[in-house]
């Protein structure tokens, strides 16, 4: 143990330590005020966290569908066809994609919903549809979708279909003349 020169030095150390401890507590409300004033941490993910109250009194059946455009040599399927969920419940499902061609291909998945008005109640947190997917020749991949079905979903929507169609971005770029030199 280090001997302290005198009791005044020790008292100063105690005061500094207590001051630092108190400053740490004071920073929390200060941080919230800065976030409120600047708009930081006020995005959709914050709204999602506030609104995810699970409605255990009701069930919604979600059907999953997968399609590929005729110009895309991929196999694409959901790993499960249906699930029953409580609105507000955090759900993860997976789709499987296989590139059956002999070359790498870039594809983009576009979601659709049945009935169409159900789309407003899907709050996706993670989805392969957010960006183009490059699949190597012969590659097989599982792609997750993490979502919450908004608890305010209409009561008469007891069955909803989430459908994805993958389109060949390489084919679209080649046919429209948008493709670069490499």
User: For residue 7, what pLDDT is reported?
Assistant: 78
What CATH number does the domain containing 97 carry? 2.60.370.10
For 155-172, what is each residue's pLDDT tens digit?
999 999 999 999 999 865
User: For residue 50, what pLDDT is reported?
Assistant: 47
3-state helix, strand, coil in the chain (%, to 5): 30, 35, 30
Residues 63 and 121 grouped into a single domain: yes
Residues 21 and 102 grouped into a single domain: no
Decide if 92 contacts 144 (C-beta within 8 A): yes
Rounded to two decimals, the pTM is: 0.66
Residues 33 and 104 grouped into a single domain: no
Domain limits for position 37: 1-42
Give which of 13, 16, 90, 82 is closest to 49, Cα–Cα: 90
The pLDDT of residue 78 is above 70: yes
Residues 82 and 156 grouped into a single domain: yes
């Amino acid at each position: 143990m280090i001997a302290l020169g005198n009791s005044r030095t020790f008292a100063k150390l105690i005061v500094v330590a207590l001051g630092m401890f108190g400053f740490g507590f004071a920073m929390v409300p200060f941080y919230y005020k800065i976030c409120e004033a600047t708009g930081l941490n006020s995005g959709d993910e914050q709204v999602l966290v506030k609104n995810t109250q699970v409605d255990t009194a009701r069930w919604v059946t979600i059907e999953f569908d997968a399609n590929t455009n005729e110009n895309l040599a991929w196999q694409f399927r959901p790993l499960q066809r249906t699930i029953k969920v409580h609105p507000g419940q955090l759900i993860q499902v997976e789709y499987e994609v296989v590139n059956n061609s002999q070359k790498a291909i870039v594809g983009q998945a576009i979601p659709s919903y049945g009935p169409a008005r159900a789309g407003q109640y899907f709050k996706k947190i993670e989805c392969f549809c957010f960006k183009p997917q490059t699949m190597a020749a012969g590659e097989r991949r599982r792609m997750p979708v993490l979502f919450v079905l908004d608890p305010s979903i209409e009561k008469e929507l007891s069955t909803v279909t989430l459908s994805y169609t993958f389109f060949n971005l390489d084919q679209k770029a080649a046919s429209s003349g948008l493709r670069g030199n490499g």
